[in-house]
Amino acid sequence: MSIRPAPISTVANSTYEQILERIVTCTIPPGTVLTEAGVATMLHTGRTPTREALARLVRERLVTAVPRYGYVVTEINPTELDELIEVRILLEPTAIAASARILGPKVLDLVSESRGAPKSDGANLASQKVHSHNSVHAALIAGCPNEYLHHVVADIHKHLYRVFNYALTLDGFNDHLFADHDSLLAAVVARDADAAKAISIAQIEKSHTALREALLAQPRATAQLSTGYSQFSVSTGTKGLQNR
């Protein structure tokens, strides 16, 4: 039985994918104001598919609808991180263990395919590390036979991909966390489910600590919904959500 999102038009799905890519890579950073008209203009699409795409992003908690103003890309803070990690540490190690029993050495082919060729166009090396990190974890759960579990963990990865990209913009965050997959991959190749699960838990805890410390070290954001936003808006190229 396949787990699929509610039916959505091809144009709306394409619009969703384009906005999603910009949000999870932080090309559109947290706190940015979006409007239907502005996004439609930016992506050269219609208002209806844009509205459908934004509604889907609201359901996924990547943007927040603000009555009479538009939408705001959800902020990233320690509380959201803790909630994501709480679910991740419960589910991902189990998914990887289940995947290890099935994939074995095949995981290396999946990792190679998902990583793709390194970019040589001057793209930021740290961003490439995040992409590679996300690709490895996608491959690690690819063999999970429980489709419900796979679906939930993949959704968590989408949110964490955004968190990691955001962390790269913070002072004091060390991107060395994205390099250590050898021991986990070795356990999966050996079909050692118990070792894969234990290593996964340890790595999740390590990354959680580093991410949380980086987030807590940042000055508290001054723009809050209760007092009004003053963020750069992709809709007009001017300041948006001015609550007066």
Query: Is 3.90.660.10 the CATH classification of the domain at 78-216?
Result: no
Per-domain residue ranges for the chain? 10-75+221-240, 78-216
Pairwise CA distance, residues 58 & 65, whole Å: 7
Pick the range with the lowest mean pLDDT from 8-17, 64-73, 151-160, 197-206: 8-17
Pairwise CA distance, residues 57 & 12, whole Å: 12
Pairwise CA distance, residues 241 & 68, whole Å: 9
- 233 pairs with which residues across the strands? 33
Sorted by sequence, the CB contacts under 8 Å of residue 181 that are 6+ apart come out as 133, 136
Q: Look at residue 70 and tell me whether its pLDDT is greater than 70.
A: yes
Sorted by sequence, the CB contacts under 8 Å of residue 14 that are 6+ apart come out as 45, 49
- pLDDT of 115 reads 61
Pairwise CA distance, residues 156 & 91, whole Å: 10
**For the chain, what is the mean pLDDT?**
83
CA within 13 Å, CB half, 122: 0
* pLDDT band of 128, cuts 50, 70, 90: confident
What fold characterizes domain 10-75+221-240?
Answer: Arc Repressor Mutant, subunit A (1.10.10)
Contact 25, 19 (CB under 8 A): no
Pairwise CA distance, residues 240 & 69, whole Å: 9
Sorted by sequence, the CB contacts under 8 Å of residue 239 that are 6+ apart come out as 230, 231, 232, 233
